[in-house]
Amino acid sequence: MAPTHHAQQHARQEHIHGQIAPDGDFQRWFDWRWQLKHRIRDLASAERLLGIDLPEERRRELEGTIARFPLSVTPYYLSLIDANDYENDPVFKQALPMPEELLIGNADMADPLSEDHDSPVPGITHRYPDRVLFLVSNVCAMYCRHCTRKRKVGDRDSIPDWAQIEAGLAYVREHSEVRDVLLSGGDPFLLEDGYLEWILKELRAIPHVEIIRIGTRTPVVLPYRITDGLCDMLKRYHPLWINTHFNHPRELTASSRQALARLADAGIPLGNQTVLLAGVNDCPRIMRALVHDLVRNRVRPYYLYQCDLSEGLTHFRTPVGKGIEIMESLQGHTSGLCVPTYVIDAPGGGGKIPVMPNYLISWSTNKVVLRNFEGVITTYQEPDSYEPVFCDRKCDKCDLQLHLSNADEAQAVGIHRLLADWDDAIALVPEGNERYERRETEVDEDDTP
Ligand SMILES: *Cc1c(COP(=O)(O)O)cnc(C)c1O
């Protein structure tokens, strides 16, 4: 960041601090508890601290929005807003309400990802075979206006208590197929170190839990939460991975860089999940600047999310084409390390589906036709000598010498099942297929379609 920008930011922080605590010591600004205590929760305070004056009608509209979807932003994150151009400011748009949030589109849903449906016990979403999402906190430092769990934001009743966490832990203990536990929320880093450590310790004690992941936005909205004490605690529970949530290069400040460096120095691999948001980052150049800045700070862009169909997000949604255009602008044009996977989280709980520009143009029995990022069309010659091996799951006799125990108990799911030699299924038939229902005999999936 340019030194002048840095100086401006510092001046803004001192200014906001001075208004919140006229006689206070500016060093308090860097204390995450001070930041939380002084979160801005009403429009008048936001206007005062930013030195802006909203038109009266606008203010009334926004009060209506806040009544439905509450406002909460840390002084730190507020200080990133450029008050001279707040209407176009990417931080303002993520933190402060818009009247459009109250417009519910035809396709909008309260819980588009069916997280509540796929929840065997409160707080756990078990959607994929080998990993679970574990919501351990319903508290966030800042209420993102684009939150996919907007329905729960500020919902006091749903703050999980000790018994609920214990029930989630019990679920993981009982399900030996769960090798990856993803702690999310809310923000797990809004728990006290001791409480979070208890959860990590309990998870680490479960033999089948191989990795633990934490999803947190604190490096973006409350970077001072990443204390040396927190990092010292976290590094005792490796292998631990962290995903954070930067959406715009402006969010990579001196403070957030320091937070990322501390986490990386604690040996924690860092990833980032960006949400594609209209008016915030729906631009190939902004996205390119963002991924470069992330990688420079040892953060690997992990996912780029298409905006979910949650209620109140319509004004943030872009066509899928915008995401594909962004992927087209990254792949090949910059380091592979900088290229996230673009995903649409399927409504109804289907999980994340990757979407890409098409690179495979055509193929024959011995050749594949591809195009590269420059538009060069090229061919790949298939091997003449590849001997297809029929896999019967007899791993102990396989030339690959990968001696897997219990291989004969393996199950293939979905499209993978159609490809597995050792499974007889030749079709996956959707429920309620009329043609099948017309057949008199009972049909199972193994029949010829
Ligand atoms: C995103 C998500 C995960 C993790 O998915 P990965 O692709 O492994 O990162 C797990 N469970 C649920 C319910 C999720 O939404």
Establish whether residue 133 lines the binding site of ligand 1, counting it when its CB lies within 6 angstroms of any ligand atom: yes
311, 69 in Cβ contact below 8 A?
A: no
* Residue 215: strand pairing partners: 243
Establish whether residue 213 lines the binding site of ligand 1, counting it when its CB lies within 6 angstroms of any ligand atom: no
Counting from 1 in the atom list of ligand 1, the atom nearest the Cα of 343 is 7
> Which residue is closest in CA terms to ligand 1's atom 6?
352
> Which residue is closest in CA terms to ligand 1's atom 5?
352
Which pLDDT score is estimated for 394? 82
d(CA 220, CA 243): 11
Render 302-320 in DSSP notation, one character per residue.
EEEEPPP-BTT-GGG---H
Pocket test for ligand 1, best of 111, 127, 134 (most atoms within 8 A of CB): 127
Which pLDDT score is estimated for 118? 83
101: phi then psi, degrees, rounded to nearest 5: -60, -25
d(CA 329, CA 223): 30
Q: Residues of the chain whose pLDDT is less than 70?
A: 1-3, 155-159, 440-449
> Which residue is closest in CA terms to ligand 1's atom 2?
133
- Compute CA distances 140 → 34, 95, 185, whole Å: 15, 12, 8
Counting from 1 in the atom list of ligand 1, the atom nearest the Cα of 125 is 13
Counting from 1 in the atom list of ligand 1, the atom nearest the Cα of 113 is 15
Q: How much distance in Å is there from the Cα of 5 to the middle of ligand 1?
A: 37
Site of tokens 């320091």: 258
d(CA 210, CA 119): 22
d(CA 230, CA 436): 57
Helical packing angle, 284-296 and 320-330, nearest 10°: 50
Counting from 1 in the atom list of ligand 1, the atom nearest the Cα of 133 is 11
* Residue 272: strand pairing partners: 244, 301
Pick from 87, 75, 72, 5: which is nearest to 41 by CA?
Answer: 72
d(CA 318, CA 334): 23
Which pLDDT score is estimated for 158? 62
Establish whether residue 124 lines the binding site of ligand 1, counting it when its CB lies within 6 angstroms of any ligand atom: no
Counting from 1 in the atom list of ligand 1, the atom nearest the Cα of 303 is 9
Establish whether residue 352 lines the binding site of ligand 1, counting it when its CB lies within 6 angstroms of any ligand atom: yes
Q: Which CATH class is domain 124-354?
A: alpha beta
Q: How much distance in Å is there from the Cα of 213 to the middle of ligand 1?
A: 10
- Compute CA distances 432 → 142, 307, 349, 375, 435, whole Å: 44, 30, 19, 43, 9
Establish whether residue 179 lines the binding site of ligand 1, counting it when its CB lies within 6 angstroms of any ligand atom: no
Q: How much distance in Å is there from the Cα of 133 to the middle of ligand 1?
A: 7
Establish whether residue 182 lines the binding site of ligand 1, counting it when its CB lies within 6 angstroms of any ligand atom: yes
Counting from 1 in the atom list of ligand 1, the atom nearest the Cα of 131 is 10
**What sections of 331-433 are H helices per DSSP?**
415-419
**Residues counted in the chain:** 449
> Which residue is closest in CA terms to ligand 1's atom 12?
133
DSSP state of 139: -
Which pLDDT score is estimated for 113? 83
Which pLDDT score is estimated for 441? 62
d(CA 338, CA 288): 8
Q: How much distance in Å is there from the Cα of 114 to the middle of ligand 1?
A: 13
Establish whether residue 184 lines the binding site of ligand 1, counting it when its CB lies within 6 angstroms of any ligand atom: no
Establish whether residue 125 lines the binding site of ligand 1, counting it when its CB lies within 6 angstroms of any ligand atom: yes
> Which residue is closest in CA terms to ligand 1's atom 3?
133
> Which residue is closest in CA terms to ligand 1's atom 8?
131
What amino acid positions are annotated as catalytic residues? Answer: 127-128, 131, 140, 144, 147, 149, 308, 345, 352
- Compute CA distances 413 → 211, 343, 424, whole Å: 23, 20, 12
Domain edges within the chain: 5-99, 124-354, 357-386, 395-447
Largest Cα–Cα separation, the chain: 83
* Residue 31: strand pairing partners: none
Which pLDDT score is estimated for 443? 52
Which pLDDT score is estimated for 446? 55
44: phi then psi, degrees, rounded to nearest 5: -60, -40
> Which residue is closest in CA terms to ligand 1's atom 1?
352
Please report which helix (H) or strand (E) contains residue 203, including its range.
helix 193-204
80, 9 in Cβ contact below 8 A?
A: yes
Which pLDDT score is estimated for 141? 94
Token pair belonging to 286: 């902004």
> Which residue is closest in CA terms to ligand 1's atom 14?
133
